[in-house]
Amino acid sequence: MFASLTERLQTVFAAVRRETRLTPESVETALREIRLALLEADVNFKVVKAFIDRVRDRAVHRAVLESLTPAQQVVAIVRDELLTLLGDGPAGLTASRQRPQVVLLLGLQGAGKTTTTVKLARWLTGQGRHPLVVSTDVRRPAAIEQLGMLADEGGIRVHDPARDAAVVTRAAGAVEMARSMGFDVVLVDTAGRLHIDDDLMGELEALKTAVQPSDLLYVADAMTGQDAIKSAGEFNRRLGISGVVLTKMDGDARGGAALSVVSVVGVPVSFVGDGERLDDLQPFYADRLVSRMLGMGDVLSLVEKAEQVVSREDATRLEQKICGNDFTLQDMRDQLETVKRMGPIDRLVELIPGMGQMASRMPGEVDPHALVQTMAIIDSMTRRERVRYQVLDGSRRRRIARGSGTTVQDVNRMVKQFVEMRRMLKTVGAASRSRKKKGGRRRGIPMRPGVPVT
Amino acid sequence: MSFLERLRAGLRRTTDQLVGRFDRLDADPATRVGVGPAAATASLDTLDTLEEILIEADIGVSASRRLLDRVRDHTGDADLRSVVKHELRRLLEAPIPAPVRGGCPRVVLVVGVNGTGKTTTVGRLARLLALSGQQPVICAADTFRAAAVEQLQVWARRAEADFVRARPGADPAAVVFDAISAGKARGRDVVLVDTAGRVHTRTNLMSELDKIRRVAGRAVDGAPHETLLVLDATVGQNGLAQAQAFLEAVGVTGVVLTKLDGTAKGGIAVAITAELGVPIRYVGVGEQLDDLVPFSAAEYVEALFEPAW
């Protein structure tokens, strides 16, 4: 099986870094590997060709080859060109003044338009907007019900005139309803269609004329292959796409289709969908994806994820506890709960610089079960035990092991870890106390309570 | 309209571009390849272009290489066209595993990532079975996606098949057990199980599939007798990773390639058959109930190169 783009590039660059001097030949070897990696990541072969040519032009330049750090220079060039390819267009929706702002979601069958519609509505709600969604998919069985059910689940209002089976009037009705009831965004879900289906593409053109959308989002499956540019190109030619939503990014497909679509259609990726929960939609940041591809980690995304689930008050309270050295097992349990809410732990690890490769090399090392087990052990403790771990004698530990379905060894290991952690936190707390005493500004990494310290 | 005609009609648009490029190649006098007397005339350019064509069809780098190597080593004096066709067909011909013996009803599990067309495929399979005189039961084990059950119910009605459903959020394995029991009680021949789409890297969801398998195996001997992986023809190299993951988790016995009526060629299926030995069993070539046809490597390759070849 082929390695992911990240791994391939890292292998290539590890090889390049070992060379003290680059020759045009060694650059060529690296380029061949990059070409393969990009092709296997489903970047369109024409795009790959152009990309490789551009990198080569810059890399075999004398200044690069003779510089003291040629390998790093090549990495920088690749990073640079990837960024150029992905464009630096703004993520999210266009800043339209239109009220209600109308957004059309288009794409092939099974790309994920309906799910994305509701996810996008949820995201907009988080931005303080008031979205209304409407389905115009009168073709696929139960598509309208699907949107309705998802919207209910996400607490989003739907416009669904039961008797109306006409695409244009359904959408126009939603815009009308939004206007009269004060919704400021209307998200229009459309039926999946092939880009070569002339009748259905005509239907979209009529829909566009009727509701005058400010945003036409092309929803594309991240796992799409070489065909991606054909379909996206045709949708763009007939309707004019304003942005791309890349779905199913939680798999191991590493966004090659994104590179192709963006470079061919010339519009930015606006959002990425990366999970099955309704909140699994993020604005797309090219630099973060490129950093991830090149194995530089994505600390910004990690911090943002933490901020989503940790309230300011919680963070302050925790910081006080750490400073006062009274971090308890109960606090640890709360922290683990927070981590769990941030998403699957193996995906969080991918975001940590340098950890991406490690995680894939040690399958099973990052064990989500360990988290659940630790929580179960704490859950089996009495309140007193959680506050004062010192009372945990042999008999209590045996009881806890039975109660949590673990062994005494598991309990011992967990307690030991906790004591270790407390010791570490004590030094952190002492350091920040002394800084506070001096009245100086806190420097260094602020405590991010959402990030596990163990 | 015969199956072959329908397949051809569905593939025609797919074909146009592929054939167009091959024809240009063919017009080049230096396109004869092989180690035979004609080998000397095979230019490197030709092979490069051929590689591009194959990669553009999503066949992938390594399977394309394999094909090119075979074309290059081809002995005998044949033109490029028939050599490529021949080798492509050879890559595609994987033996269809002998049907698992076991009790009745036979259980067919339909699996795949989200949005590939599992639900639609189940409806059409039911129709195919009904046409061949068998009585299928459709089991809606996708209890996760909103309105998946309702969607399948519409297909069941169209295919005139029995339908077993459960409450949303219910345990899919339990629904499968119920459906098999119902199938037994009513003396039906086949139970078609529609499962929820899942990205193949989600280990917990993959083990849920394994549980369905185990429960089905307890309900009737040898079940599931078949496990079909539904693949979207537009999928790229990730299709191979998908097939690998599902093969490991639940032992896929065949592939259903859907949405072949677009411009995508589904070439990754060639790689899947060549590298994993999993045969393609059915292809979806349109939006109608009858647009699912049994796959044949010979016909697929022929249709892919119609009408110019």
DSSP secondary structure, A2-16, as one string: PPPHHHHHHHHHHHH
Domain A302-438, CATH homologous superfamily name and number = Signal recognition particle, SRP54 subunit, M-domain (1.10.260.30)
Q: What is the pLDDT of residue A305?
A: 63
At the top level of CATH, the class of A5-86 is mainly alpha
Q: Are B42 and B30 in contact (CB under 8 A)?
A: yes
CA distance B110 to B141: 10
Q: Are A253 and A223 in contact (CB under 8 A)?
A: yes
Is the per-residue pLDDT at A300 higher than 60?
Answer: no
Q: What is the pLDDT of residue B35?
A: 41
> Could you tell me which chain A residue has the CA closest to the CA of B65?
A36
Please enumerate in sequence order all residues whose Cβ is within 8 A of that of A406, keeping only pairs 6 or more positions apart, or say none: A373, A376, A377
Residue bearing tokens 């009605």: B157
Determine the distance in angstroms separating the CA of A252 from the nearest CA of chain B, rounded to an integer: 7
Is the per-residue pLDDT at B306 higher than 80?
Answer: no
**Is A40's Cβ below 8 Å from some Cβ in B?**
yes
Look at strands A281-283 and A269-273 and give their pairing: antiparallel
> Could you tell me which chain B residue has the CA closest to the CA of A37?
B61
Q: A–B: how many Cβ contacts below 8 A?
A: 144
Is A224 within 8 Å of B236 when comparing Cβ atoms? yes
**Is A39's Cβ below 8 Å from some Cβ in B?**
yes
User: ∠ CA A342-B241-A51 to the nearest 5 degrees?
Assistant: 85
Mean pLDDT of chain A: 80
> Which one is the CATH code of A101-292: 1.10.10.10, 3.40.50.150, 3.40.50.300, 3.40.50.1950?
3.40.50.300
ipTM of the complex: 0.80
Q: What is the pLDDT of residue A306?
A: 64
A117-156 in b/e form (b: 16+ CB < 10 A) is bbbbbbbbeeeeebbbbbbbbebbbbbbbbbbbbbeebeb
Is the per-residue pLDDT at A184 higher than 90?
Answer: yes
- Reported confidence tier of residue B164, pLDDT bands at 50, 70, 90: very high
Is A42 within 8 Å of B52 when comparing Cβ atoms? no
Q: Which of A141, A221, A226 sits opposite B56 (nearest CB)?
A: A226
**Which pair of tokens denotes residue A86?**
């992905």
CA distance B136 to B131: 11
Q: Are B259 and B235 in contact (CB under 8 A)?
A: no
Q: What is the pLDDT of residue A271?
A: 93
Q: Which of A149, A226, A251 sits opposite B55 (nearest CB)?
A: A226
Q: What is the pLDDT of residue B303?
A: 64
Is A2 within 8 Å of B56 when comparing Cβ atoms? no
- Reported confidence tier of residue B6, pLDDT bands at 50, 70, 90: low
Please enumerate in sequence order all residues whose Cβ is within 8 A of that of A331, keeping only pairs 6 or more positions apart, or say none: A318, A321
Q: Which of B57, B114, B264 sits opposite A112 (nearest CB)?
A: B114
Higher pLDDT, residue A362 or A368: A368
pLDDT digits (tens, 9 = 90+) for B252-290: 999 999 998 877 778 888 889 988 999 999 999 888 888
pLDDT digits (tens, 9 = 90+) for A62-121: 666 666 666 667 777 887 888 888 876 677 888 888 889 999 999 999 999 999 999 999
Query: Poorest-confidence range of A155-159, A280-284, B64-68?
Result: B64-68
Is the per-residue pLDDT at A352 higher than 60?
Answer: no
Number of H helices, E strands in chain B: 11, 8
pLDDT over 90 for what percent of chain A? 34
CA distance B7 to A60: 49
Is the per-residue pLDDT at A14 higher than 90?
Answer: no
pLDDT over 90 for what percent of chain B? 41
Please enumerate in sequence order all residues whose Cβ is within 8 A of that of A28, keeping only pairs 6 or more positions apart, or say none: A56
Annotated domain spans of chain A = 5-86, 101-292, 302-438
pLDDT digits (tens, 9 = 90+) for A207-266: 999 999 999 999 999 889 888 888 999 999 999 999 999 998 877 766 678 888 888 888
CA distance A346 to A373: 16
Is the per-residue pLDDT at A359 higher than 70?
Answer: no
CB atoms within 10 A of CB A20: 9
Q: Where would I find the H helices in B93-233?
A: 118-131, 148-159, 172-186, 203-219
Which one-letter amino acid corresponds to residue B91?
L
- Reported confidence tier of residue A447, pLDDT bands at 50, 70, 90: very low
Q: B235 contacts in A (CB within 8 Å)? A: 221, 223-225
CA–chain centroid gap for A228, Å, is: 21
CA distance A250 to A273: 8
